[in-house]
Amino acid sequence: MSIVSDIGVIYMSGKKRGQKVCEKCNCVNGVRAYECKECDAPFKMKKYRKGNKKKQVEDHKTLNRGDLIRVVGGNGCHYIDRNGDRHYFTDRGKYLVQSTTTDGIMTYGKHGHQYIYMGERKQSKLIDSGYWDRHKIILLKDADPKSPHSIFGSPKGSRSRA
Ligand SMILES: [Zn+2]
């Protein structure tokens, strides 16, 4: 028996169902181990959570017309009621970027045009206990240069129909 096949046999027999073998030291670990119990080498996890690639947008000015973003709940402009509860003005959901300003993003969402504030938190001049606050947004999809409005379709009375 050659050396190569010996190693093959040891490797095969050492690995059982529900176990995984460390790439560095060949030590057998439980299938749910995050790192090797012998050498602490991290295991590559096969399953990645969906949406892991989608990053929070730090600088809204990097967005382009036609980019699809998602507003995540629990942030953005709000007012605080007598009980101290926050009520948010912006619906969470998808918005299509139209343009950006210094302090925010002009978008088109399911309720039509929507301004998404991205500046510093400040008190509203119009509403008592109202606050402008930065929204948390995630870039879902880069602009499709061929049809930047394909996601929501053409709005009613769109010039493209006339
Ligand atoms: Zn190891």
Question: Residue 8 belongs to what domain range?
Answer: 1-45
Are residues 17 and 76 located together in one domain of the fold? no
Tell me how far the alpha carbon of residue 128 is from its chain's centroid.
Answer: 32
Q: How far is the C-alpha of 2 from the C-alpha of 158, rounded, in Å?
A: 75
Question: Ligand 1 mean position to 18 CA, how many Å?
Answer: 17
Are residues 87 and 27 located together in one domain of the fold? no
Question: Ligand 1 mean position to 43 CA, how many Å?
Answer: 9
Q: How far is the C-alpha of 134 from the C-alpha of 70, rounded, in Å?
A: 14
Write down the pTM of the prediction.
Answer: 0.57
Are residues 129 and 61 located together in one domain of the fold? yes
Which residue in 136, 81, 130 sits closest to 105, CA to CA? 136
78 pLDDT above the threshold of 90: yes
Are residues 104 and 124 located together in one domain of the fold? yes
83 pLDDT above the threshold of 70: yes
For 9, phi then psi, to 5°, come to -65, -45
pLDDT at 138: 94
7 pLDDT above the threshold of 60: no
- Is 6 within the bounds of a domain? yes
User: Total domain count for the chain?
Assistant: 2
- Is 102 within the bounds of a domain? yes
Sign of CA dihedral 90, 93, 97, 100: positive
Question: Ligand 1 mean position to 79 CA, how many Å?
Answer: 53
